[in-house]
Amino acid sequence: MPTFTALTTLPGQDAAEALAEDLERMTPAPTGIGTFEIEDGAGLWEVGGYFDEAPDEAGLALLATIHGARPFAVSELPEEDWVAKVRRELVPVEAGRFFVHGSHDADKVPEGAVPLLIEASMAFGTGHHGTTQGCLLALEKLLGDGVSAGAVLDLGCGTAVLAMAAARVCPGTVLASDIDTVAVEVARANLAANGLEERVECFEAEGLNHPRIAAAGPFDLIFANILKGPLLDLAPALIAALAPGGRAILSGILNSQADEIIDAYCALGNDLEDRREIGEWTTTILRKNV
């Protein structure tokens, strides 16, 4: 399956983040967006989008003009080399008790660790991204605080690494959903590789609009490692799906976006329990207080 990148630069963090927000709303929508300061002292920021299909280049050109950015450079990644390259370069990741690794590193799992086998793939969530690590560390904190979640939902599951982590340490039902068909296929393959296909039910769904989500809720824990726009759009439905006292672990949030997300969710009847930054990304734990 081909993957496309669209990259541009422009001066200033605020301008870069405004462009990134508009980029989220494109059709076809990007599967991921990043903003990075170029460390050459020039004050320029890079904004990049990743797409599962060729992006709308006319739309990209319009966005670049509106935001005063350079024209987007669009590239198609060579799919035949990507997985082998990632397998060579990705090293295991430790996040609390969780040890995320590929099959080539299965012999490196420390004694007493909770192993999570994730093969290189085009679905998001190998454990190396700051958002995924943040979510695993947030789960570790809840476990350390004595929280035991019954029903768990991994919303926008990608590779299902978070659902698998929950299935290893939580006693109840675990659901994993994603809007992307390929992500669901990858997630199911990972569940099978970890022997968790009977513990985690994985399916394609748009947001929380699925009969299995409605039937399994309310949830004691919801992971939503997605982007700012969907997090804000889904906030009322996500909180409605939480049980009283339930926790939402939210990520996919740039550090500069965190206050807006936290304010929006707290306004719906939640308390902020934890906030951590890994690189440019923030992960939060919110507790439903109504």
Give the distance, in angstroms, between the CA of residue 268 and the centroid of all CA atoms in the same chain. 22
Nearest to 207 by CA among 281, 149, 280, 157: 157
Nearest to 156 by CA among 210, 75, 103: 210
pLDDT (0 to 100) of residue 122: 45
Residue 99 lies in a domain: no
Alpha carbon of 213 to those of 70, 108, 162, 192: distances in Å? Answer: 43, 36, 17, 21
Q: Residues 43, 256, 284, 249: is their CA dihedral positive or negative?
A: negative
> What angle is formed at CA 207 by the lines to CA 178 and CA 264, rounded to 5 degrees?
125
- Which residue has tokens 């304010």? 263
Continuous H helices in the chain: 13-24, 57-67, 79-89, 130-144, 161-169, 181-193, 211-216, 228-240, 258-266
If asked whether residues 169 and 56 sit together in one domain, one would say: no
pLDDT (0 to 100) of residue 224: 96
Residue 225 lies in a domain: yes
Residue 162 has pLDDT above 90, yes or no: yes
How does the average pLDDT of the chain come out, rounded? 87
pLDDT (0 to 100) of residue 123: 44
Q: What is the pLDDT of residues 30-40, one digit of tens each?
A: 988 888 887 66
Residue 95 lies in a domain: no
What confidence category does residue 1 fall into, taking pLDDT thresholds of 50, 70 and 90?
Answer: low
Residue 255 lies in a domain: yes
- Report the predicted TM-score, pTM, of the whole model to 2 decimal places: 0.71
Retrieve residue 203's tokens: 């399916």
Q: pLDDT > 70: what percent of the chain? A: 89
Residue 120 lies in a domain: no
Residue 37's H or E segment, with its range, is strand 32-37
**Domain with 181 in it: what CATH number?**
3.40.50.150
Q: What is the pLDDT of residues 14-54, one digit of tens each?
A: 999 999 999 999 999 998 888 888 766 678 899 999 998 99
Residue 116 lies in a domain: no
Round to the nearest angstrom and report the end-to-end CA distance of the chain.
44
**Domain with 19 in it: what CATH number?**
3.30.70.260
Q: What is the pLDDT of residues 57-114, one digit of tens each?
A: 999 999 999 999 999 999 987 665 545 555 555 567 788 899 888 777 667 777 888 8
pLDDT (0 to 100) of residue 225: 93
| Higher-confidence position of 107 and 175 | 175
Residue 177 lies in a domain: yes
